[in-house]
Amino acid sequence: MSKPEYTSVAWEFFLKVGDDCVRCKICKKSLKYCHSTTGMISHINSCHSEELKNMEKQKKSKNVMSFNNRKEEHAEADRNLVLAICTSTVPFRFAKNQYFIKFCGSLDKQYEVMSPDKLRRRIHENSKLYIQKTKSDLENVERFFLTVDGWDGKFENVNLYAIFVYYIDEKFEQKKVFLGIRHVAGKATSVNVGNVVTDVLEDYGVDSSKLIGAICDAGSNLRSFLNKNMLYHLHCAAHVLALILKEVSEVPSVTLILKKVYSLASHLSRSKVDRSIFRQRSTALKTFGPIPLPFSPTRWGGCAILAASFLNHYQSIFSLSKFQEYLLSEEEKVKLEYFVELTSPFVDAVSEAEKDNNFCSEIIPQFANLLEFVSSHNQMKHIVRVITNETQKRFDAYMSNDIALISTFIDPRFGYFDGIMHNRKWQEIEETVIDYCDSLKILNSNGSLNSDGSPQKRSKVSQSGLSRFMEAKSLSSSMDDTKAEVVAYEAYIRKSRPPYSSSPLDFWKCNEFQFPKLARLARHILCVPQSSAAVERLFSRCGEIVSSSRRNRLSSQTMHEILINASLGILKEKETEYIECDDDDDETEQNGEQIKLDLPPLCTCNPSNDSRRSRSTPTRRRSIQY
């Protein structure tokens, strides 16, 4: 027989000790119990009124807390629903699907699914709040650098550009802020791209005069925009390394061998059964690492990575009868192994450049290392000459880039380090650094000029003779101060250079007052990363959203807000490596059908010189209406 439940508040104070007796838990007084709580309640009101009030307050507080917790849970569910809609190709009307509503009700009967209109409003509100918060974060930024890159659908009439801001805050911490994805009206010319960049900066209330430059690929439209505005340009290191690997992969003797590699990858991508058999055999042979599957055409260094994967799983190819056609002759295998040996340091360098927590000051030392590596190989071989010449050419381009040079100088791990500056002398870099430091000017609130502030890529000539005279005297004094700092800085780091594993920002945080001008320079320049990988990661996830046939009637503003919400969801994930659509552990399989991924005709590493990357998308698509 079940124990009876007592619901009266009296039982919070009394304990039943017999069939006809109860005892007060507080004062231990016993009362006669005749199946009524009247006597107990009278005792509580007369003797324990304060305890009763406290108990009622606690119950009320618990109820409020429970309500607030449930409200927060529902708010979190709403946020996740918004992100689910924004990061998928599901249309807004899915929120009205009766089975989806029933599913949510089975989890929490008190949860009410948002309507499509409410979803749109929430997306707009999220975008607005993000812009307001970002405005506040960027309000006191002294100088910043941009990462810009473009995306165009292969079958969609749309050009999108994504923009990130990098800067060093007052605590000498590197910050990255996403500003959004914008549609380019018309062709992606330098004028139209420039309009997009300036419009985005205006939306966030950022003073464009604080912009130092941008890191992007070698697209003529972006470079033209930067040059017209006298801004610095730094070529994305990962893209440069990919271009080197592309040239090496197109050496005739290598191209013929890589065709077999691509054929195997293409076959495995199409056949789920053979792919499963291949994996099982590799597991049995204790061969680890991703099996050879095709990469996206824009994957930096994809050809070299695929070749390494092919060789890693070569024993599986050899031991399976279905894959005998992909075996290499002894000579071909030796050549492919040598190709992988030559390109492995470049693949590692791409991997380093793709990370978020790196500095552009590492580019020149990295290329010095790569050039020394390839130069140590037999230059009589054609493939070695190709990779050496390409590395030399790209290294020379960086050695004439002011941002690459200044950042290397201002990084205490590399400044005045012997053997990394190739054909340049540190004295030449000193002059560039002094010119930069002494061109810092900023407008005060009253409109007058202060000597601490904005760098000008090219100095302006004063009109007045007296002005030129006073400016020359002032500049001479300032240059003497900067030269003294440079001399002291050289002596300091030659005596006690920080280890390579340390952060250069830690050094400048500790020595900000000892080297004030150089510390300001470090704050301006060391915010720059090695590559535009942040934008590439974004496009690799957002491209399918734009390509969705269910989103082709959205206005450009709604699409922009959806992409901001989607990007915020993606950026919450702590990504430490490049996200690929063809990843070994995340294959695009649906209902057991074959994976359909097309390989480029010759090389999967196909980085274009144009900044607008064309992603492969399904052919049955309609154009987005703008």
Is it the case that residue 42 has pLDDT exceeding 60? yes
For the residues 186-191, what does the mean pLDDT come to?
Answer: 80
Is it the case that residue 599 has pLDDT exceeding 60? no
pLDDT at 327: 92
Q: What is the pLDDT of residues 552-577, one digit of tens each?
A: 566 667 777 877 777 676 656 544 33
Of the candidates 577, 528, 599, 562, the residue with the CA atom closest to the CA atom of residue 176: 528
Backbone angles phi, psi at 570, to 5 degrees: -70, -40
Give the residue, 157 or 605, on which the prediction is more confident.
Answer: 157
Number of alpha carbons in the 13 Å side-chain half-sphere of residue 378: 5
Q: What is the pLDDT of residues 430-468, one digit of tens each?
A: 999 998 888 764 333 333 334 444 454 544 444 566 676
pLDDT at 260: 93
Give the H or E element holding residue 148.
strand 144-153
What does the alpha-carbon distance between residue 232 and residue 223 come to, in Å, rounded to a whole number? Answer: 9
**E runs forming strands in 198-244:** 211-216, 232-235
Does residue 624 contact residue 551 with C-beta atoms inside 8 Å?
yes
Give the residue, 442 or 240, on which the prediction is more confident.
Answer: 240
Backbone angles phi, psi at 36, to 5 degrees: -145, 145
Q: What is the pLDDT of residues 413-424, one digit of tens each?
A: 999 998 898 888
What does the alpha-carbon distance between residue 218 and residue 610 come to, in Å, rounded to a whole number? Answer: 6
For the residues 117-139, what does the mean pLDDT come to?
Answer: 86
State the Cα angle at 505 between 499 and 507, rounded to 5°.
55
What does the alpha-carbon distance between residue 387 and residue 523 come to, in Å, rounded to a whole number? Answer: 35
Alpha carbon distances (Å) from 174 to 114, 177, 513, 564, 569: 38, 10, 19, 22, 21
Does residue 580 contact residue 296 with C-beta atoms inside 8 Å?
yes
pLDDT at 439: 76
Give the DSSP letter of residue 511: S
What does the alpha-carbon distance between residue 249 and residue 386 come to, in Å, rounded to a whole number? Answer: 10
What does the alpha-carbon distance between residue 352 and residue 530 come to, in Å, rounded to a whole number? Answer: 9
Is it the case that residue 94 has pLDDT exceeding 70? yes
Is it the case that residue 384 has pLDDT exceeding 80? yes
Instruction: State in Å, rounded, how far the first CA of the chain is from the last one.
Output: 72
Task: Identify residue 494 by its one-letter amino acid code.
Answer: R
pLDDT at 608: 41
pLDDT at 600: 32
Does residue 353 contact residue 237 with C-beta atoms inside 8 Å?
yes
For the residues 1-26, what does the mean pLDDT come to?
Answer: 74
Domain extents for the chain? 1-48, 360-457+481-525
Q: Which of 217-221, 228-232, 476-480 holds the top average pLDDT?
A: 228-232
Of the candidates 354, 274, 272, 260, the residue with the CA atom closest to the CA atom of residue 307: 260
- Kindly state the tokens that stand for 270: 């199409």
Is it the case that residue 607 has pLDDT exceeding 60? no
What does the alpha-carbon distance between residue 415 and residue 512 come to, in Å, rounded to a whole number? Answer: 17
pLDDT at 545: 63
pLDDT at 95: 86
Q: How many CB atoms lie within 10 A of CB 25?
A: 13
Q: Give this prediction's pTM.
A: 0.73
Is it the case that residue 161 has pLDDT exceeding 90? no
Task: Identify residue 168 by its one-letter amino acid code.
Answer: I
Q: What torsion, rounded to 10 degrees, do the Cα atoms 427, 450, 165, 240 define?
A: -20
Percent of the chain with pLDDT over 70: 77
Q: What is the pLDDT of residues 497-533, one digit of tens each?
A: 999 999 999 999 999 999 999 999 999 999 999 998 8
Of 150-159, 232-241, 283-292, 594-603, minimum mean pLDDT range: 594-603
pLDDT at 572: 62
Q: Which of 24-33, 67-76, 454-463 holds the top average pLDDT?
A: 24-33
Of 63-67, 181-185, 505-509, minimum mean pLDDT range: 63-67
Does residue 592 contact residue 272 with C-beta atoms inside 8 Å?
yes
Number of alpha carbons in the 13 Å side-chain half-sphere of residue 473: 5
Task: Identify residue 171 by its one-letter amino acid code.
Answer: K
Give the H or E element holding residue 23.
strand 21-24
Average pLDDT over all residues of the chain? 79
Does residue 165 contact residue 528 with C-beta atoms inside 8 Å?
no
Of the candidates 370, 483, 492, the residue with the CA atom closest to the CA atom of residue 422: 370
Residue 367 pLDDT class (50, 70, 90 cuts): very high
pLDDT at 624: 28
pLDDT at 443: 32
Give the DSSP letter of residue 301: T
Give the H or E element holding residue 174.
strand 174-183
Of 395-399, 475-479, 492-496, 531-535, minimum mean pLDDT range: 475-479
Is it the case that residue 543 has pLDDT exceeding 70? no
What does the alpha-carbon distance between residue 295 and residue 300 come to, in Å, rounded to a whole number? Answer: 9
- Kindly state the tokens that stand for 461: 């000539």
Compute and round to an integer the Cα radius of gyration of the chain: 33
